[in-house]
Amino acid sequence: MRQAIIDLGTNTFKILVIEKDENNKIQILYKTKMPIGFSASANTGRISVAGFIRGVNALKAFKTNIIEYYQVERTIAFATAGLRSTANGQEFVEYIEKELDMKIEIISGDREAQLIYEGIKMAVPLSDENVLMMDIGGGSTEFIIGNKNKIEFTESLKLGAGRLTEKFKPSDPILPHEIESMCLFIANQTENVITKAKEYNIKTLVGSSGSFNTLARVAAARFSTSEKYREKLYFEFTPTQFFEMHQLILGTKLHERAKIEGIKLIRNDIIVAASVLINYVLNHLQIERIQQSQYSLVEGVLSLINE
């Protein structure tokens, strides 16, 4: 049976096509993503008309070029903060169901964290040691404390890289007082997360999704090899290496960052806010190593299919 899993994120829509054989073994047939820029306006709380149209066109392309081509029998579509926290998110869901006959489930932050955790477990060799997992989306960031056996704590915060960029509209390059303002806001939002992480004596940070993928690509290009990054389902870099990349990202203008190997166009503007967020977390915890997971929510849904 062939199935498609779609993750409607704030910055990108992702699709995964899988086939399950008679022995319940899953094979990934196709995987891709499409940039959307789906975040709601800070003034109206609504997805813009242009963003709405981009989202519709992306799902039309997924249906025509991928779902129908692969003769998919079942499609599972999840929407996260991009629709969850917008005034017209339900309107988008209803439009897609009517026009494309595709049902979309808007999942809660807790459900999103659970699926992210399942995805990370498939890629990163977790142990009995509790780690802090961060999935930085466009609209929200999911914080998860857990180990290979279970989740101990989760919190979904409106600290997505796109949302922070929209809220603070940093200069190019970002100025010191703008970094300070952003950090004060992050401090207020993450107080409970930092307290919990200290209680669990967290030493390892595991990151997933676009911003951490970007940092892993930059780290591979600067400190290792791109081949090593592509060969594994997870990639490690040190806090010291992150701080070097952080200073590079904050100290460069948009057109200069575009020339940094590993930074893709869709992440070029929002990687600044993501880097400030990660740096804040590292500065308030005793993190000794950073791991990047190639898998996240969309792969985590595979655990549902296996149930």
pLDDT tens digit string along 203-212? 999 999 889 9
**Structural domains in the chain, sorted by start:** 2-107 (3.30.420.40), 110-298 (3.30.420.150)
pLDDT tens digit string along 218-229? 999 999 866 677
Strands across the sheet containing 12-20: 26-35, 12-20, 2-8, 74-79, 104-106
CA distance 3 to 41: 34
In this structure, what is the dihedral angle of CA atoms 95, 100, 105, 109, given to the nearest 10 degrees? -70
The share of the chain scoring above pLDDT 90, in percent, equals 75
Q: What is the pLDDT of residue 122?
A: 93
State mean pLDDT over 127-138: 96
- What DSSP letter does each residue of 89-117 carry, written as one string? HHHHHHHHHHHH---EEE--HHHHHHHHH
Distance of CA 295 to the CA centre of its chain: 10
Q: Classify burial at 5, counting beta carbons within 10 Å of its beta carbon; exposed 0-12, middle 13-18, buried 19 or more.
A: buried
What value does the mean pLDDT of the chain take?
A: 92
State mean pLDDT over 171-178: 98
Q: What is the pLDDT of residue 225?
A: 67
Q: Is-above-0.85 flag for pTM?
A: yes
In this structure, what is the dihedral angle of CA atoms 160, 262, 219, 292, given to the nearest 10 degrees? 50
pLDDT tens digit string along 136-161? 988 899 999 999 999 999 999 999 99
State mean pLDDT over 152-176: 95
Q: What is the pLDDT of residue 210?
A: 87
pLDDT at 307 over 60: no
